[in-house]
Each structure stands twice: as structure tokens, then as C-alpha cells.
Structure 1
């Protein structure tokens, strides 16, 4: 079953994907909760987070879900709101390369991804999910990096299959990849 209203926004680094997703959320006419997956591991990344936070309207709610994204989506789900998840790329990094150095085993990882899939399938809210498209370059060196690229590609495919709309941002320009079918 395709969720009622799931938009998936993809793009490379500095492609404009987050700003585009924020405009979609603002234009929804609904109360917005921004679900951040980032973990500020250093001062430079803390500045990036502050920059994102500063450009959001003060009226938006905030939730932090570096790992428990499915639970956060389910807890905040309401048919009258817009939930903006930014981003799957960092959520996946938190799962595969956690700050405490204890990565999830394959079963735990699969459970998190399956739970996210179920939360998105069952969502009644307008949901906008942001992710990076990183698989367009060369095959990366190193087993861990290759696994990350492979898993993000699989995760992006899974979310795109669920989405009613998929937009790729290229140099700040939105390119429609999948549009919601016309309703008769």
C-alpha cells in the first residue's frame, strides 16, 4: 500500500535538497515537525546543524532521531501534520558507524530498516524524507565504505518505491522522478 502522502527528496551534497524539502513542508499549510537525524560529532558539524536550524521557522516543532527514526515517526504521526525527515544519509551512518563504536549486527540493522519501512507505510501525516544520492561515482575503496554506499542505495530504492513523489535536486533545480498518479 502506498502511503497517502510521502515525498522523497534526493540529491548530492549542496544540491539544495534540504532547502527544497523545507519549502515543501512550509507550503503544506500544516504544522511541521522537523525530525533531525544528525549527531554533532564535531564543531564544524554543529555549525552545519545550527545553519539548518536557523533557516527553519520558529513555529516548527523539532525532534531528534539519530537512531530510533521509526519510533519517532510513529509517535508524531497525525493526519493533520507534516513531518520532515532530514536525512536518511545521516541516520544510516548512525546505524552503521555509531559514535560509541558498537555497530549493529545484521539482524538489528535489518530490524531498523524494516521498522522505518512500516512506519512510512502506515503514516497518516504528510511525510517528506530527504536523502543523499551518493552512488553515481566510482566504487569506493574500503569494505565499510562500499557497504555504506550499497546500503544507502538499497534504502533509497525502498523509500522511493513507497513514495508518491520522488524529486532529485541537481544544482538547486528539482527534477521530478516520480509523480503521484492522477486521481479520477
Structure 2
């Protein structure tokens, strides 16, 4: 079993890198666990572009209940969770305790049998946001990424489509 965290900035190539890794594991087909929700036309188009790249994948839409989805899909192909930062945003928007949810994820991951690849955004490399909500999200994302990186076997940072091994 492998736990891999792929992080990087927007449009850095994180998802493409994670998809290639998921396809490289022997048990097929890979399972795509999508956390995004299409609330507008732009997001619908973005989701459609991602789906078009994943012919033959098993897909699950999981905006909130990530840990149960990982347990339900364990024992099959590699799972790709895209992405943790959208999951975090969904949790915060739903008024759920994101810290408890992240802790539950970190506790569950080591007991899984099938590989799991997490995609997440690095949001701490820019200017400090000018409002409290954005700062709260940035801080929560940084904490979440540290917690998941701690339980991951491998961590990569993707820039311009090029992965850099961090762990």
C-alpha cells in the first residue's frame, strides 16, 4: 500500500501527475474520488475536461464523506482523491469540524490496503489574504497538508508539470 500526496499551485500539473501515478499501480481500474461540486458553468466545464482524461476509471463523487469513501473503495485499484483543498472548502462551508475530519483521515489512511493518491493545493506561497475568511482557509489548508504529508509515504511538489520529491 502506498500513500502519496501531490501538492503544487493552480494549473501546475498536479492532477495529471496524480492520474499517471494512479494508472501505474497494477490493480486496475483506478478509482477517482472527486470532491468538486459544479456550482457554475465554469466548474462544470473544468470537471468535464478532467473526466475526458479518465476513460475507464471508476468515479465517485464525494464532496464531504471522504473517509467512508476510502473504506468503501479499499481493496480495488489505486484511489485518486482530487482534491483535498476542495474537500476542506466543502467541510468549512457545510459547518463541519474540519480539524476532526482531517484527524479522522490521518487516522484511517495507515489502515488502508489499496494505494491512495491525494491532490492538494499549496496555498501558502502567495501574499497574505486581505480578509479573515480567506486567511482562515489558507491556514486550515496549510495545517491539513502538513497532517496528510506526515502520514504519506511520498510527497511531491509539482511546478510547471515537473514533480519534485519532498518525501
TM-score band (shorter)?
A: over 0.9
Distance in 2 (CA, whole Å) between partners of 1:61 and 1:7 is 19
User: What SS does structure 2 have at the residue aligned with 1:8?
Assistant: strand
Cα distance, 1:142 vs. partner? 1.0
The CA distance in 2 between the partners of 1:28 and 1:41, in whole Å, is 33
Q: CA RMSD in A?
A: 1.1
- Pairing 1:1-184 to 2, within 5 Å after superposition: 4-31=1-28, 32-57=30-55, 59-78=56-75, 80-98=76-94, 103-104=95-96, 108-178=97-167
The alpha carbon displacement at 1:120 in A equals 1.3
- TM-score relative to the length of structure 1: 0.87
Q: Which runs of 5+ in 2 are unaligned?
A: none
- How many angstroms apart in 2 are the aligned matches of 1:119 and 1:64? 19
TM-score normalized by the length of structure 2 = 0.95
Which residue of 2 is the match for residue 181 of structure 1? none
Contact 2:78 2:117 survives alignment (8 Å): yes
Residue by residue over 1:113-150, the C-alpha shift from the partner in whole angstroms, topping out at 9 and shown as x without a partner, is: 22211221211111111000010111111111111000
